[in-house]
Structure 1
Amino acid sequence: MYYVGIDLGTSAVKLLLMREDGKIENVVSREYELSFPQPGWSEQNPEDWYRQTLDGLKKLVHAVDPKEIAGISFGGQMHGLVALDEDDNVIRPAILWNDGRSQEEVVYFNETIGKKVISGYTGNIAFAGFTAPKILWMKKHEPELFAKIKKIMLPKDYLAYKLSGSFSTDYSDASGMLLLDVEHKCWSEPMCELCGITKDILPKLYESYEAVGYLKSEIADSLGMKRDVVIAAGAGDNAAAAVGTGTVGKNKCNISLGTSGTIFITSDCFRVDANNALHAFAHADGKYHLMGCMLSAASCNKWWMDNILKTDRYAEEQKDIVKLGENHVYFLPYLMGERSPWNDPMARGAFVGMGLDTKREDMVQAVLEGVAFATRDMYEAARSAGISLEHSMICGGGAKSPLWQKMIANILNISIDIPNCEEGPGMGGAMLAMVADGKYATVEDAANAIVSVKSTCEPDAELVKKYEERYRSFRKLYPALKDVYGKL
């Protein structure tokens, strides 16, 4: 049998077809537009996600007999606000995870209500990217549209709704809404009241590996599939990617260098770090995780290469970078503001330390190192919570760079494991569909059977020492510029 994993990303939907033994048969990608109506805003049309997903499915199933497809699940961009009216029409473009418009609402939650109170309700404090501040923003600035809301869902759950008719979400994705009592896995009544909504407009909650329904008969018929194709709840993109790298079970780590960047640390029990610098979320395996998130990771390199250097020769630009730990140029990767650990939507990118002797490769190196240093910032937040790591898996587009792997290993001083097959949230989604269909008893069983390590990048003691000194300097830069960002 075959299983489909749908990775609903920020710039494209990527569909993956996998055999039950883990062999990938086909991958199809379909892009859609990202809109920035005002500075700091980020929106998309949910109908574009669905249209491109259906188009991708049509091409994906040509690789096999469609009747052999048994399950579909998802890994999706988190936090986005998708609002439907009583006729299931999309009320307004979805407000995405990297949208920073809700700064006043974040202040209201964290300062007026209080971080301690909000964290008590949900396990987390408010960030501009989370869903609840977006809801409050919409209530204040678009009251007529707000009054029409009959369903609130997350991006991947819109796909599940369109494909199956099931109004559902999973605990991992719901954790990032600031509406879920993460520890007790239920919607928070106090948070709903603060947002001016009722629980009946929120989806039913499931574990990521649970079936929420079946593919609609008309869609199944049009694609040549059976009518009993299982639709599993799926997971937020980072939890799904963690499943795809085998990051399930106690005290395991996955670092993602995608559009955003994350450090994802698993836990058997619910826990919150004292400073709320890390998100305390449910995991797709039914347990929990702590996660640090930086808003711009591989997207920093894409911006630098595409918009500034105007080249697509990514590997070529990195080949002359040899003086690791000695670069005099620093880059702050806050192109869309920053979440962990600073929680500052006003922060912006910056180069520091340039001189007349600065070369092109110094700037390229600084961009890569800046993302790695910011990853170290997130790891330091985990260490302050008593977490110590020796290994981490790595995934995402940026993780395909051996140079970036080496920087991460030495700046964090941990071993970096590179999986044999790295297909991110799509792979994790397909594995979740397998569990929902009964091919594996647990998510951990699926991971043990399918995921393996190709190679390991070990830290070098001398390079670790050099980078430790550089990191201490990097760490001083954001505090020095914080007040400047607010004035800019």
Structure 2
Amino acid sequence: MLFIGMDLGTSAGKLLLMNENGEVYKTVSKQYAVSFPQRGWAEQNPEIWFQNIIEGLKELTANQEKDKIAGIGLSGQMHGLVLLDKEGKVIRPAILWNDGRAEEETDYLNREIGKERVAQYTGNIAFTGFTASKIRWLKKHEPENFSKICKIMLPKDYITFRLTGVFCTDFSDASGTLLFDVKNKRWSKEMMRICGISETMLPKPVESWEIVGELTKEICRELEISGTIKVVAGAGDNAAAAIGTGTVGNNRCNISLGTGGTIFISSDTFRMDEGYVLHSFAHADGKYHLMGCMLSAASCNKWWMESVLETENYGKEQKGIRHLGENKVMYLPYLMGERCPHNDPNARAAFVGMDMNTSRKEMTLAVMEGVAFGLRDSLEAARMTGVMPKRASICGGGAKSFLWRRIMANVMGMELDSMEQEEGPAYGAAILAATGCGSYANIKEAAEKLTKVKCTVVPETKLVDRYESQYIRFKELYPALKQFFDRKKWQGA
């Protein structure tokens, strides 16, 4: 049997075709743009997602044995707000995970309702990127659109809806809405009341490997497929990436260097970060995980390379970079605000420490180091809860750079494993499909058999010590610059 994994990313839809032994026959990537209508806003048209996914499926299945395709699994960017009216039409562009417009609504939830109560209802506190904050923003600023809401969806679940006609989600993706009682895996009545919505507007939540439907006859005809193809619920991109990198079981860790950056630590039991820095979410393996998320990771490097240096030759810019841990230039990686640990949508990026001798390579290195330090913040928060991962897998576009992996290993002080299959979320989604279709008894068995380490970067004692000193300096930057990130000052700039 063959299985398709799809990842609806922020900048591209990625698809792969694999067999039940985990061998990948083909991969396809379809890029699309993000719209930034105002400073700190981020939107996309869901129809563009669907068109790209369909085109990707056509390309992926061309010249393949289509009658052997048994199932499809999806992963996707989390927290996005997709709204449908009673006719099943999209009401407005999707508001994405890295959108910071709902600052006032987030403050209301955390201060007026109270962090403790919100965490009691959901297992988490409010962040501007979370779906609940966006819904409250919409109710206040776009009441006409709010009044039209019939269905509230997450990005990948919109694709599932278009492919199958089924209105559902999975526990891992639902966890990031701030509408979900994560510990008990059900929608929170209290949060629905606070947001002014009903449970009929929300999709049915199920486990990630559960079969939720089949490709519609119309989609099968368009893809020239004659058989029946099952579709499983899938998972949020970070949970799917964790499956695709074998991050299953207690105290396993995965680091993702995608558009945003995450540290994902799997757990057999539900636990909360009492400091409210980390997210407490359901995992796609049926258990739970802690996750720290920064809004700009590999996107920082993309911005620096393409928008500032005006080059796409990333390798050339990184070639010859030496003297790691000795850089006098530091970079604060908050291009779109920051989630963990600061929960500040107004935070912005900054270079500090340049002088007349500062070189282009030092600036490039500072960007990569700044992202690593930002992710280290989440690792430190995890350690404060008593979680002590000894090593981690690493995935995402940024992880293709050996230099960046080396920096990450030494900043974190952990061995970092790169996996044979680099498309973590899409590969994880395909594993979910294979499990749902019966090729494996459970996710743990599938992950153990199908995920393999390609190479490992080991931290170097001298570099670990140097980066420890650098990290202490980095932690001083945000508190020192916070006064300059005041929303009113930025709006007037």
TM-score of the two chains, using structure 2 as the length reference: 0.98
Counterpart residue number, 1:57: 57
Task: Give the letter aligned to residue 393 of structure 2.
Answer: M
Measured after TM superposition, the shift of residue 226 of structure 1 is: 4.0
Measured after TM superposition, the shift of residue 225 of structure 1 is: 2.2
Overall identity of the aligned pairs, in %: 58
Measured after TM superposition, the shift of residue 222 of structure 1 is: 2.6
Asked if structure 2 preserves the Cα contact closer than 8 Å seen for 1:36 and 1:42, the reply is yes
Q: Give the unaligned 5+ runs of structure 1.
A: none
Label 1:75 to 1:484 Cα distance change in 2 as closer, same or farther (>3 A): same
Measured after TM superposition, the shift of residue 330 of structure 1 is: 0.1
Counterpart residue number, 1:296: 296
Counterpart residue number, 1:222: 222
Asked if structure 1 preserves the Cα contact closer than 8 Å seen for 2:78 and 2:176, the reply is yes
Question: How far, CA to CA, are the matches of 2:16 and 2:290 in structure 1?
Answer: 27
Deviations 1:98-151 (A, max 9, x none): 111000000000001000000000000000000000000110111111011010
Counterpart residue number, 2:247: 247
Asked if structure 2 preserves the Cα contact closer than 8 Å seen for 1:17 and 1:27, the reply is yes
1:476 partner SS: helix
Measured after TM superposition, the shift of residue 227 of structure 1 is: 4.2
Counterpart residue number, 2:286: 286
Question: How far, CA to CA, are the matches of 2:332 and 2:33 in structure 1?
Answer: 27
Measured after TM superposition, the shift of residue 33 of structure 1 is: 2.7
Question: How far, CA to CA, are the matches of 2:440 and 2:224 in structure 1?
Answer: 26
Measured after TM superposition, the shift of residue 462 of structure 1 is: 1.0
Measured after TM superposition, the shift of residue 165 of structure 1 is: 0.9
Question: How far, CA to CA, are the matches of 1:311 and 1:36 in structure 2?
Answer: 22
Worse-superposed segment, 176-185 or 209-218: 209-218
Counterpart residue number, 1:34: 34
Question: How far, CA to CA, are the matches of 2:180 and 2:289 in structure 1?
Answer: 15
Measured after TM superposition, the shift of residue 320 of structure 1 is: 1.4
2:276 partner SS: coil
Q: Does 1:71 align with 2:77?
A: no
Counterpart residue number, 1:90: 90
Counterpart residue number, 1:121: 121
Task: Give the letter aligned to residue 314 of structure 1.
Answer: Y
TM-score of the two chains, using structure 1 as the length reference: 0.99
Task: Give the letter aligned to residue 27 of structure 2.
Answer: V
Q: Give the unaligned 5+ runs of structure 2.
A: none
Counterpart residue number, 1:396: 396
Report the aligned-residue RMSD.
0.8
Measured after TM superposition, the shift of residue 447 of structure 1 is: 0.8
Asked if structure 1 preserves the Cα contact closer than 8 Å seen for 2:67 and 2:227, the reply is no
Task: Give the letter aligned to residue 424 of structure 1.
Answer: G
Question: How far, CA to CA, are the matches of 1:392 and 1:473 in structure 2?
Answer: 25
Question: How far, CA to CA, are the matches of 1:168 and 1:239 in structure 2?
Answer: 17
Which runs of structure 2 are paired with 1:209-358 in the superposition (5 Å)?
A: 209-358=209-358
Task: Give the letter aligned to residue 272 of structure 1.
Answer: M
Question: How far, CA to CA, are the matches of 2:411 and 2:222 in structure 1?
Answer: 51
Question: How far, CA to CA, are the matches of 1:349 and 1:32 in structure 2?
Answer: 24
Question: How far, CA to CA, are the matches of 2:370 and 2:389 in structure 1?
Answer: 21
Task: Give the letter aligned to residue 319 of structure 1.
Answer: K
Counterpart residue number, 1:431: 431
Measured after TM superposition, the shift of residue 224 of structure 1 is: 2.6
Question: How far, CA to CA, are the matches of 2:384 and 2:484 in structure 1?
Answer: 28
Deviations 1:47-92 (A, max 9, x none): 1111111111111111411111100111100000001000001011
Question: How far, CA to CA, are the matches of 2:289 and 2:456 in structure 1?
Answer: 23
Counterpart residue number, 1:378: 378
4+ long deviations beyond 2 Å: 224-228
Question: How far, CA to CA, are the matches of 2:157 and 2:465 in structure 1?
Answer: 46
Counterpart residue number, 1:483: 483
Asked if structure 1 preserves the Cα contact closer than 8 Å seen for 2:294 and 2:374, the reply is yes
Asked if structure 1 preserves the Cα contact closer than 8 Å seen for 2:110 and 2:118, the reply is yes
Counterpart residue number, 2:179: 179
Asked if structure 2 preserves the Cα contact closer than 8 Å seen for 1:69 and 1:225, the reply is no
Asked if structure 2 preserves the Cα contact closer than 8 Å seen for 1:214 and 1:227, the reply is no
Question: How far, CA to CA, are the matches of 1:301 and 1:31 in structure 2?
Answer: 18
Question: How far, CA to CA, are the matches of 1:218 and 1:198 in structure 2?
Answer: 31
2:129 partner SS: coil
Deviations 1:232-264 (A, max 9, x none): 000000000111101011110000000000000
1:135 partner SS: helix
Asked if structure 1 preserves the Cα contact closer than 8 Å seen for 2:292 and 2:378, the reply is yes
Counterpart residue number, 1:4: 4
Count, aligned residues: 488
Task: Give the letter aligned to residue 448 of structure 1.
Answer: E
1:345 partner SS: coil
Counterpart residue number, 1:460: 460
Which runs of structure 2 are paired with 1:199-218 in the superposition (5 Å)?
A: 199-218=199-218
Question: How far, CA to CA, are the matches of 2:82 and 2:355 in structure 1?
Answer: 47
1:47 partner SS: helix
Deviations 1:322-379 (A, max 9, x none): 1011000000000000000110000000000011111111000100000011111110
2:311 partner SS: coil
Question: How far, CA to CA, are the matches of 1:439 and 1:34 in structure 2?
Answer: 37
Q: Does 1:387 align with 2:387?
A: yes
